[in-house]
Amino acid sequence: MTAKIVLLGATGYTGARTAEAMTRRGLRPVLAGRDKDRLATLAERFGGLPTATADVSDPASVRALIDTGDVLVSTVGPFAKIGEAAVTAAVDAGAIYFDSTGEPPFIRRVFEHHGPAAARTGAALLTAFGNDYVPGTLAGALALTEAGVATAGVHVGYFVIGGGAGQGFSKGTLNSLVGVLLEPMYRWRDGALHDEPAGARYRTFQVAGRDRPGVSIGATEQFALPRLAATGVAPRLREVDVYLGWFGPISRAVHLGSRAAPLFRRFSPVADVLTAVGRAAVRRAADEPNAATLAGSTSYFVGEAFGASGQRLATVLLTSPDGYAITAELLAWGAGYALEHGLAGSGALDPVSAFGLDTLRAGAAEAGIVAV
């Protein structure tokens, strides 16, 4: 049987944009979700695509969507809450899997829990294959490669500039963000991941003519860059950190507040109140981000490589249009490439190990991510 692409979550904001990007590339994904009528309307809009119904609360229905060698793309989130059925189905089927998560605990689970099982069944898993965290992984990998064997550390920063005061995120993204705020994140030091709260570290990066603040988070880079380094590129790598530069002037407060996160987690009434405030904000949010806000924003991704005494060895700066555009384009490019060529290996892959650095750079450029 010929392998196919299945897009689960097609009726959501990111899913519909991904369906559109796939169609533009000449792909014919099976649009999958839980609402038959909305799937039919969407399929019609994209020239009569095939559809299939599945609900993640019935994992067997998700498993029935795919066979060995198929490409399953999931945009069903929050992933920590409802993402498990898709990745489990892909592992069981020996399929190729992409998702749009930006949730660090879910990413860690894919690498540490699902990866070994996928290696046994021949499945290839590519989690967080969108704005979070492909461009930063690429920027970090390019800086690491440029600096070479002298590299002891790599820092990556994510920034969004411009866009005005409109809602810059979909309701789905805000919902996912609220779900992970108090969850433990991680840094990578000397061969291992170490838990730490979100925002535990703070630093500034020089971006678009100014020093801009970022706070630390867990991401894909803490898995991808040590792997790349271990291929002989930078055998003395000891440190990988990722920073989120979305908070602007309140970054310092986010950083200081992060010290209280473990206390909040232990003292559940405070965590409950914070989560309730977050959920109320999600309820008030529009389903889709403001189109003018997205159109007016530019993303920057910085990768910096350091030597053993902290001296800067290489800096790579990439830029792109808004995060939803590149998430849809990256998923469409990645799925199309995987359907045609397969991916390099099985288990939990990362963007560099799955495609190789040159192919990833070319694919990212097609998605709109280019060097400044």
Residues that bind ligand NAP (CB under 6 A): 9, 11-15, 33-35, 55-57, 75-79, 82, 100-102, 128, 130-132, 170-173, 176, 323-324, 327
CB of 99 to ligand NAP, least distance (A): 8
Q: Which is nearer to ligand NAP, 51 or 100 (CB)?
A: 100
Report which residue's Cβ sits closest to ligand NAP.
172
DSSP 309-342: TS-EEEEEEEEES-HHHHHHHHHHHHHHHHHHH-
Asked whether 140 and 154 are in contact (CB, 8 A), the reply is yes
**Nearest residue to 239 (alpha-carbon basis) of 313, 312, 187:** 187
Q: Which is nearer to ligand NAP, 86 or 152 (CB)?
A: 86
Phi-psi region of 102 (alpha: psi -120 to 50; beta: other; left: phi over 0): alpha
**Nearest residue to 364 (alpha-carbon basis) of 73, 140, 28:** 140
Q: Collect all residues with Cβ–Cβ distance below 8 Å to 110 and sequence separation of at least 6.
A: 87, 99, 125, 127, 348
CB of 13 to ligand NAP, least distance (A): 4
Q: Which is nearer to ligand NAP, 230 or 280 (CB)?
A: 280
- 10: number of Cβ within 10 Å: 29
Q: Which is nearer to ligand NAP, 296 or 342 (CB)?
A: 296
CB of 269 to ligand NAP, least distance (A): 27
Phi-psi region of 311 (alpha: psi -120 to 50; beta: other; left: phi over 0): beta
CB of 261 to ligand NAP, least distance (A): 20
**Nearest residue to 195 (alpha-carbon basis) of 248, 255, 262, 149:** 262
Tokens 């198929």, located at residue: 70
- 282: number of Cβ within 10 Å: 17
CB of 53 to ligand NAP, least distance (A): 9
Taking the C-alpha atoms of residue 31 and residue 132, their distance in angstroms, rounded to an integer, is: 23
Tokens 């924003």, located at residue: 297
Q: Which is nearer to ligand NAP, 131 or 293 (CB)?
A: 131
Q: Which is nearer to ligand NAP, 243 or 306 (CB)?
A: 243
Q: Which is nearer to ligand NAP, 75 or 151 (CB)?
A: 75
CB of 187 to ligand NAP, least distance (A): 20
CB of 131 to ligand NAP, least distance (A): 3
